[in-house]
Amino acid sequence: MRIEKDGLGEAALPDEALYGLQSLRARDNFALDYRKTNPRLIYAMATVKKAAARTYERLKTPAASGRSGVYGAIIQACDRILAGEADAMFIVDALQGGAGTSTNMNVNEVIANLALGILGESPGRYDIIHPLDDVNRGQSTNDVYPTALRIAAIEFLRELSKACAALQEALQRKEQEFQDIPKLGRTELMDAVPLTLGAEFGAYAQAIARDRWRLYKIEERLRQVNLGGAAVGLSSDPLSRKYRFTVIEELRELTGMGLAAAEYPMDLTQNADVLVEVSGLLKALAVNLMKISRDLRLMNSGPHGGLGEISLAPLQAGSTIMPGKVNPVIPEMTVQVALRVLANDTAVSSAASLGEFELNAFVPLIADALLESLSLLCRAVPLFRAKCVELIRAEPDRCAQLLNASWAFAAAYVPRLGYEKVRIIIEENRGDPAKIKAALEAALVS
């Protein structure tokens, strides 16, 4: 065991622990047993720390201890984190007080101790590499955390935009495949007018196309970062201006993203409205996925007591008591993912509204909820496409049967006969489609 001390006291840590005293305290203080900080956020923070170390090397800034090779070791330590070698060392719960300070300290300590090992030193030798004076130099949680969150969100958004593009294309293929299958259109779950099954899928494709475009465009707002702004967007470090623009240049190179220094860093430190906007677009996608999933579930209902206009692929047994029953499990999963995204959007919006003055203390909830929504959608959309949409089979005979059993065709006579006359003919013939059709035709020639 090793002993680490600070102004609040001391604690023993396992010799092999790469986290330090601050991480240990945070783990115990926020012992919610909920879930740890999202790994994508951890990796993005490590990328920010790597960019900072590369910047100080580039600016020939000496380490706090004066020892050479410190920033090179920090860079190597970040690479090891990005390779997944230290995942078990990130021990802090996602929901935490302090606006993300504990996650930042956890990352700082793990990097410092990994870097010490690279230099042949033991964990805890902070006189050689210090978590704050070296790893966190020129930074604050208040600029590192939001910057990392934006990087993680952009990574997810790019993945999700591609998944939406593939789903849109799958729906368009079904539009073409089903374009010649007439069916009954419905409004408010009641018989309406004839259309084609292909037209319905074309409408679904259009909705997802809008989602795809919105997700693609929102990246522009996320590319502005407040890195270099320190605590409130106004760094007091005399090297801050040179550091700020150099570190963002390094970060652009490391991430391949067109990141730019915020024109007014204090804005991004104070305000989380851009993250609310992103969450809102995820909500819009979730709403569309839920609508499409519920439609497919209804059209698939049966096989004998429901609509049965389409057949979804049978993926698993649907009941422990009713043999042969198969459920529409992928649309049901997708609806549940969508509901979680809607709930997360409420959390993001509420937390963003609770910031005071120069900082929002509740950004950990914003990060956790937003990244969960992104992660779930990145997995759910491809599953919905591959296991549901692409495997849908039309049932043309059933579509024709339901269409022919309705008087949906009657609306086409309204322009020539008038609404009231058509209504009376329907009522007089008691909804019998054959009699209604004959009466309407007779009325046209009379």
Q: Give residue-wise pLDDT tens across range 19-32.
A: 999 999 999 999 99
Place of tokens 């989380």: 272
Q: Which two tokens stand for residue 304?
A: 């004998």
Same domain, 223 and 91: no
User: Do 113 and 236 belong to one domain?
Assistant: no
Residues for the chain: how many in total? 446
In this prediction, residue 235 carries a pLDDT of 57
State how far the Cα of 104 lies from the Cα of 82, in Å rounded to an integer: 15
**Please, are residues 178 and 394 in contact by the beta-carbon 8 Å criterion?**
yes
- Flag whether 312 is in a domain: no
Judge whether residue 151 has pLDDT over 80.
Answer: yes
**Is 319 annotated in the active site?**
yes
C-alpha distance from residue 43 to each of 84, 102, 253, 434, 441 (Å): 9, 15, 16, 67, 71
Q: 264 and 392: one domain?
A: yes
pLDDT of the residue at 415? 95
Over 90: is that where the pLDDT of 234 sits? Answer: no
pLDDT > 70: what percent of the chain? 98
- Is 317 a domain residue? no
Question: Which of 60-64, 92-96, 212-216, 339-343 has the lowest average pLDDT?
Answer: 60-64
Residues 42 and 158 in one domain: no
Same domain, 93 and 169: no
Question: Per-residue pLDDT for 200 more than 70?
Answer: yes
Model's pTM, two decimal places?
Answer: 0.94
Average pLDDT in the 118-122 region? 96
pLDDT (mean) for 243-252:
93
- Model confidence at 368: pLDDT above 60: yes
| For residue 346, pLDDT beyond 90 | yes
Q: Is residue 288 assigned to a domain?
A: yes
| Same domain as 393, residue 414 | no
Out of 293, 319, 349, 373, pick the active-site residue: 319
Final residue before a domain boundary, out of 137, 157, 173: 137
State residue 260 phi and psi, 5-degree precision. Answer: -140, 150
User: Which residues span the domain enclosing 421?
Assistant: 407-445
Specify the pLDDT at position 230: 62
pLDDT tens digit sequence for 308-330? 999 999 999 888 899 989 999 99
Q: Is 15 exposed, middle or buried (0-12, 13-18, 19+ CB in 10 A)?
A: exposed
- Biggest CA–CA distance in the chain, Å, is 104
- pLDDT band with cut points at 50, 70 and 90 for residue 229: low
Asked if the model's pLDDT at residue 97 lies above 70, the reply is yes
pLDDT grade for 76, boundaries at 50, 70 and 90:
very high
Give the pLDDT band of residue 446 (cuts 50, 70, 90): confident
Round the average pLDDT of the chain to a whole number and report it: 95
Residue 182 has pLDDT above 70, yes or no: yes
Residue 407, both tokens: 């008087």
83 occurs within a structural domain? yes
**Is the same domain home to 344 and 439?**
no
Query: Do 165 and 209 sit in the same domain of this protein?
Result: yes
Query: Could you tell me the CATH number of the domain that includes residue 392?
Result: 1.20.200.10
Rounded to an integer, what distance in angstroms lies between the CA atom of residue 377 and that of residue 288? 12
Q: Are residues 158 and 98 in the same domain?
A: no
Assigned domain for 316 exists: no
Task: Tell me: do 96 and 184 sit in the same domain.
Answer: no
pLDDT of residue 233: 56
Question: Would residue 184 be called left, alpha or beta, if left means φ above 0 and alpha means ψ between -120 and 50 degrees?
Answer: beta
Please enumerate in sequence order all residues whose Cβ is within 8 A of that of 86, keeping only pairs 6 or more positions apart, or say none. Answer: 18, 80, 110, 114
Q: Tell whether 47 is covered by a domain.
A: yes
Arithmetic mean of pLDDT, 62-80:
95
Tell me whether residue 220 is in a domain.
yes
Q: At 238, is the pLDDT very low, low, confident or very high (cuts 50, 70, 90)?
A: low
Mean pLDDT over 122-141 rounds to: 95
Q: For 381-415, write each residue's pLDDT tens digit.
A: 999 999 999 999 999 999 999 999 999 999 999 99
- Would you state the pLDDT for residue 388? 98
Q: Which distant-in-sequence residues (6+ apart) come within 8 Å of 85 by Cβ?
A: none
| Token code pair at residue 289 | 């996925």
> Which pLDDT does position 58 carry in this prediction?
94
The pLDDT, as a whole number, for residue 354 is: 96
Of 102, 122, 137, which residue is a domain's last?
137
Question: Does residue 313 form part of some domain?
Answer: no
Which tokens go with 384? Answer: 């919905």
Q: Cα–Cα distance between 166 and 205 in angstroms, integer?
A: 10
Give residue 429's identity as a one-letter amino acid code: N
Residue 294 pLDDT class (50, 70, 90 cuts):
very high
The pLDDT score that the predictor gives to residue 100 is 96
CA Rg, the chain, in Å?
A: 29
91: how many CB neighbours lie within 10 A of its CB? Answer: 18
Domain boundary among 137, 170, 194: 137
Residue 191 scores a pLDDT above 80: yes
Could you tell me which residues come within 8 angstroms of residue 191 by beta carbon, excluding any fewer than 6 positions away?
184, 406, 407, 408
In this predicted structure, what is the pLDDT of residue 320? 82
Cβ(32)–Cβ(95) below 8 Å = yes
Residues 231 and 266 in one domain: yes
Q: Can you give the pLDDT at residue 389? A: 98
Structural domain count, the chain: 3
Q: Are residues 237 and 384 in the same domain?
A: yes
pLDDT mean over 105-129: 97
Instruction: CATH number of the domain at 37, please.
Output: 1.10.275.10
- Residue 218: the pLDDT is 95
3-class DSSP state of 82: helix
pLDDT band per the 50, 70, 90 thresholds, residue 228: confident
Whether the pLDDT of residue 305 is over 90: the answer is: yes
**pLDDT tens, position by position, 258-280:** 999 988 888 888 999 999 999 99
Nearest 5°: the CA angle 153, 157, 162 is 160
pLDDT for the residue 224: 95
